Amino acid sequence: MTAPVLRSKHRAFEGEVGFYSHASSEIGGEMRFSVFVPPQAAERPVPVLVYLAGLTCTEETFMTKAGALGHAAEFGLMLVAPDTSPRDRRYPGDDASWDFGLGAGFYLDATAAPWRDGYRMHAYVTRELPELIGRHFPARRSAMGIFGHSMGGHGALVAALRNPGLYRSVSAFAPIAAPSQCPWGQKAFGNYLGPDQAAWAEWDATALVEQGARCPELLIDQGEADQFLARELHPHLLEAACKAGGQPLTLRRHAGYDHGYYFISSFIADHIRHHAGTLNRG
């Protein structure tokens, strides 16, 4: 694991946003990520809140569009946002569509050729990136939370459900809640994991909850005017699985809000507060 290389940095809310690249061993090539270090980090290590973005996004999207930095500065949380897929090493067909390949890594570890060589975003996000952050930033690694949007909202749920104890807080905006049962997920899983749908369940948040996986209390926000809600997101399936299995979930539905960052920025303060309430305790 090589040290991150600083590409640019910007003062914000008395803290600093930095954009970095590094050579990733899980991905087998350069990866990029961004970090907001809040002002409190000058005094002591601070909790880490990881954000996973959605389809077509990069490590820049969240920092520029979500309106999160001021709230993270208020509560003393470090924000970490990785890119949404490998980009350095290229794979045949990885840019053929916007919902698969580049910008669409789905935060899983691929098992089908050729993707399995480097599409290992789950291992990257849950192991390599926290290790890197712990080593090179003023982070309190024992206090880590995760959240995300759409593909990344689902990635956050799966990261927490598959790694009990790793994250102390979890939330999501408009997650692809049951990917095995929607076109985006079926396309991604069919290619990254192969046609055997039994293997898909290990990477599907609703299926994981149905199988008994549990994570800290979930906060999920969903816009009712989201253009992808009916076809792709299916929050009701996750809601039913959580209810049947006793997984604590607060799912809030908001009239009039669509899928984009105007929606996210409207509720980001609630999410930062949700994470800070747990991460700043003890």
Please give the positions annotated as active site. Answer: 150, 226, 259
Q: Looking at beta carbons, which residue is closest to ligand GSH?
A: 54
196 by Cβ neighbours in 10 Å (0-12 / 13-18 / 19+) ranks as exposed
CB of 138 to ligand GSH, least distance (A): 29
Among 148, 144, 44, 137, smallest CA distance to 106 is for 148
Decide: 261 and 221 in contact? Cβ < 8 Å.
Answer: no
Rule CB under 6 A: choose which of 14, 98, 164, 196 binds ligand GSH: 98
Residue among 71 and 154 whose Cβ is closer to ligand GSH:
154
Three-state SS for 258? coil
Using CB under 6 A as the binding rule, whether residue 185 contacts ligand GSH is answered as no
Touching ligand GSH, residues 13-32 (CB under 6 A): none
- 216 near 247, Cβ under 8 Å? no
**Binding mask 54-93 vs ligand GSH (x if CB under 6 A, - otherwise)?**
xxxx---x---x----------------------------
The answer for residues whose C-beta is within 8 angstroms of residue 241's C-beta and 6 or more apart is 206, 209, 210, 247
Give 219's contacts (C-beta < 8 A, 6+ positions apart): 170, 171, 172, 250, 252, 270, 271, 274
| Residue 167 binds ligand GSH (CB under 6 A) | no
Residue 53's SS3 state is coil
- Provide, rounded to whole angstroms, the least separation between the CB of residue 65 and ligand GSH: 6
Which x/- pattern, by CB under 6 A, does the window 254-273 give for ligand GSH? -----xxx------------
CB of 157 to ligand GSH, least distance (A): 15
User: Around Cβ 191, how many Cβ atoms within 10 Å?
Assistant: 18
- Number of residues binding to ligand GSH, judged by CB under 6 A: 13
Q: Does 150 bind ligand GSH (CB under 6 A)?
A: yes
Q: Is residue 193 a contact partner of residue 199, using CB atoms and an 8 Å limit?
A: yes
**CB nearer to ligand GSH: pick between 53 and 209:** 53
Tokens 């959605």 correspond to 54
* Residue 100 is a binding residue for ligand GSH (CB under 6 A): no
| Residue 203 or 228 with smaller CB distance to ligand GSH | 228
Would you tell me which residues interact with ligand GSH (CB under 6 A)? 54-57, 61, 65, 98, 149-151, 259-261
